Amino acid sequence: MDNPFPPQRPSSPPTERSPSARGGVPLDQRLKKGRSVTLSPVTPGSPSGCSAQPGPSPEAAEGEARLPTAVCPALLEKVRGLGETERVCEKAGCNHSRMAETGQSSAMAENSAVAVAPTAAPTMLEELLEITAQSLVRTEVAEHYEVIRELGRGKYGHVMLVTHRQRGTPMALKLLPKASTKLHTFLYEYCVALSLATHPAIIGMFGIAIESSQYYGFLYEPAMHKDLISIIKPRDGIPEPAAKHCAKQLVSALEFIHSRGLVYRDVKPENVLLFDPECRRIKLTDFGLTRPKGTKLKLVAGVIPYTAPELSNTTDAQGVPIDASMDAWAFGVLLFCLLTGYFPWEQSLPNDPFFEDFMLWQETGLEENLPRHWKRLTAEAALMLRSLLALDPAKRGPVGGALRYVDCPWRQDEGHGEKAAVKP
């Protein structure tokens, strides 16, 4: 079966809401009406993300990527809380005194993983931004890297598979055109990703940021099995064990991000990279939309299935402060897609018939009000999603709440579980 279309482009529901048509939007049909969402901070000049997604990486790229640092560990000490600076610098083979004076990078010198402090307050990101700007490598891509092929392309940029000319290391190179990308936009996404990269379910960074004549770019480990959207079968989903593998790792990654005082804001299958076909090892990528908790956002365009209703319905000109509950909502939508092969709705607005059905079931919990495709779920899975998708963000369960259900059956067709009727 052909790969489904990306979830931000779901199909429109039928105009006649017959019982056979209610309950979800197939992933393999395009959106005929409506637009994607663009949520921007109220403060002008802030960065936006790149929707280019890494595709398959070469089979030769086996094992964990080693992470050379592009910024001297000594300069990062106060930003990331590194201890034993001299030992780290010696391991990296860099001359931090010379680098501090010249702004040069030791990225090409030696492989070395950079430790990350237990907490990374948003204010520290500004310091990391300044440090990275001073050590940005100015070079043309072809000088140090051989381009193999394009892995993905989106509105804001594209991703290339490259190899280092001297070491032969395969890497994914994300390129953002300088003509349409502010330096701060690029540096912000790079620094956020770098500050989170030590988590096992977040994409590893090579710590190399470059500026060419036409592009800003940074390098990260290439995925070996495309992304999560590539394995979701429309009207079917993915095997339940794979869905549970994804759930556990995404919970860990999102909780890690939230512990740093950040909200990811871009939970969707395209941003989940696969490192094996069964989803035993996945990694979250693309941090262009990640913002500190409390950042106020305003709605400037339409909505997508992953957008929480408090954002879809807002009329507040001052913007809506973001928090982790918005990631929980998007995570719930993603899990529904994995288990059914459908979107639960096109947009979380009362005029969406699928969302209207869902609201009725949320309010009553009665089996007779259960939308059609939700009936494929067990009572345990429905309870899990009902918590993650609570209409009131104050009552919405955290992403970690999903872990209470991983030992329970999630699908009726797995031969286990009770009907998905959940009493309020």
Show binding-site residues for ATP.
174
**Does the annotation count 266 as an active-site position?**
yes
Q: How many CA atoms lie within 13 A of 180 on its CB side?
A: 11
Q: Which of 191, 183, 108, 94 is nearest to 143 (CA)?
A: 108
Q: Which of 2, 227, 236, 266 is catalytic?
A: 266
- Amino acid identity, residue 178? K
CA separation, residue 360 to residues 306, 328, 397 (Å): 19, 20, 19
Q: Specify binding-site residues.
A: 174
Coil/strand/helix, residue 205: strand
CB atoms within 10 A of CB 393: 17
Tell how far CA 394 is from the center of its chain: 23
CA separation, residue 320 to residues 34, 143, 265, 396 (Å): 22, 45, 13, 17
CB atoms within 10 A of CB 418: 11
Beta carbons within 8 Å of 233's beta carbon, 6+ residues apart: 1, 4, 341
Give the Cα separation of 207 and 219 in Å (integer): 7
Residues linked to residue 171 through DSSP beta bridges, in sequence order: 162
- Amino acid identity, residue 265? R
Beta carbons within 8 Å of 250's beta carbon, 6+ residues apart: 201, 267, 272, 282, 284, 331, 334, 399
Count, in order, helices (H) and strands (E) of the chain.
11, 15
- Amino acid identity, residue 53? Q
Question: What residues are labeled active site?
Answer: 266
